[in-house]
Structure 1
Amino acid sequence: MAVFAFVSMYIMPAAGVLFIVALLRAIKKIVQGKSYSAEVFWSSVLFAGIVWTISVTNLLTD
Structure 2
Amino acid sequence: MRLVPISRSGPSPTITDYNNSYGHSGSTCTSLATAYEDTQYRADITTYSGERGTTVSRGSVYFYS
Q: Which structure has more helix as a fraction of its residues?
A: 1
Q: Which structure has more strand as a fraction of its residues?
A: 2
TM-score normalised by L of structure 2? 0.28
Of structures 1 and 2, the larger Rg is shown by 1
TM-score normalised by L of structure 1? 0.28
Higher relative contact order (CA 8 A, sep 6+): 1
